[in-house]
Amino acid sequence: MKPQLKIFLYLALLVVTAQADPLKHALKSRRTYQALYSRDADELVSVNVTNCVCGYYIPETKQTFTHHITLNPSALNSSDLTTALYKQGWIVSDRDQTSTPKNIKYTPSNLKYNSNTKALELTVSGGSSSRGSIPSAEISTIMDKILYGSFRFDVRVSSVAGACSGMFFYKDDNHEIDIEILTSHIHNTTTQPDGVPKPGVQLTVQPLTKTQVLSNYRVVPFDGRFDPTKGYHEYRFDWLKSGVKYIIDGSAYGTYTRFIPKTAGQVLINNWSNGNPYWPAGPPLQNSILSVRSVDIYFNTTDTKETANWNAACKKASSKKICNVPKSKSG
């Protein structure tokens, strides 16, 4: 890679990570998350049971996780999305993000439940390129003490250029695990200028300190394997102490073992633009919509109260159920 390209790419990624700086939420979750406990394989049950009181077993990782957060759009009340999402364990962002060359305005009005597709839509508003602030959308988990797990996002991205669709774990700019799709760089067939990302899914685990060289970055080209703008696809990462493994529609696309976060944080999904030609480009002239059909997060937590609640519930349960989580869903 040319030195100029490295510099441009590194600066672009710094801008991207800055977009993810979530507000400190005063709201505290009253949601009782469900939990896990290590049991023999013959005690495993299907994941669709209503009470996985002793946890979630992920066969590919050979590990169990104590908690589960889901996003089920078909169960949302479209008349009050903020409250409905909160009940499912999610907070809707309502904030202004200073950025360059244009600011980002995360607004609840850019979230919508589409009853036809049964999907939650996060929209980057289309309009004039002269706008100083770009209306965008973002949600984050109430739970902000997530540590390790399997993170699965069943989504369809827009064919309208000019947006960055992101699904990621975040504590701070140096403890971040990203899946991002840049709608301006999906089907480009010409050679990209220096500093402009290659077309494909951008997979990044950020360095743990500002002095470390960015090494956990790769682009998985679509190359006719599938079209992210047509149909839903499952984008997933499994985050363990030993590394981060990326999986798309059940196929593995690499594992990172350096600079792996060991600090708890939260999960965010956003769709945004700031007009930066070296990342999302844009802003879009028309609405660019990220459609979310489902999210499943199986994880451990450093929240001592939640862990104690889980431990007590599992010990009390007459049937020590662990849910055996299916490999993936796609199509």
Instruction: Check whether 23 has a pLDDT greater than 50.
Output: no
Q: Taking residues 306-311, what's their average pLDDT? A: 95
Instruction: Check whether 294 has a pLDDT greater than 50.
Output: yes
CATH value at residue 29: 2.60.120.200
In-domain check, residue 329: no
In-domain check, residue 298: yes
In-domain check, residue 276: yes
* pLDDT tens for each residue of 171-186: 999 999 999 999 998 8
Position 274, amino acid: N
In-domain check, residue 275: yes
Tokens of 59: 């066969």
Q: How many domains does the chain have?
A: 1
The span from the CA of 119 to the CA of 100, in Å, is 31
Helices (H), 262-322: 304-316
Q: Taking residues 283-303, what's their average pLDDT? A: 98
pLDDT band at 143 (very low <50, low <70, confident <90, very high): very high
- Radius of gyration, CA atoms only, the chain: 19
Instruction: Check whether 155 has a pLDDT greater than 60.
Output: yes
DSSP symbols for 98-115: --SSSEEEE-GGGEEEET
pLDDT of residue 32: 36
- Tokens 């944080």 identify what position? 265
**Residue 209 lies in domain:** 3-324
In-domain check, residue 268: yes
Tokens of 160: 């309208």
Q: Taking residues 115-132, what's their average pLDDT? A: 96
* pLDDT tens for each residue of 48-95: 445 799 999 999 999 999 999 999 999 997 789 999 999 999 999 999
The span from the CA of 165 to the CA of 23, in Å, is 19
pTM: predicted TM-score of the whole model, two decimal places: 0.85
Residue 151: which of 173, 177, 172 has the closest Cα?
Answer: 177
Tokens of 330: 């796609």
pLDDT band at 6 (very low <50, low <70, confident <90, very high): very low
Instruction: Check whether 16 has a pLDDT greater than 50.
Output: no
Q: Are strands 322-324 and 56-58 parallel, antiparallel or unpaired?
A: parallel
In-domain check, residue 204: yes
pLDDT of residue 329: 60
Q: Within a 10 A sphere around the Cβ of 146, how many other Cβ atoms?
A: 25
Q: Are strands 288-301 and 119-124 parallel, antiparallel or unpaired?
A: antiparallel
Residue 251, H or E segment: strand 251-256
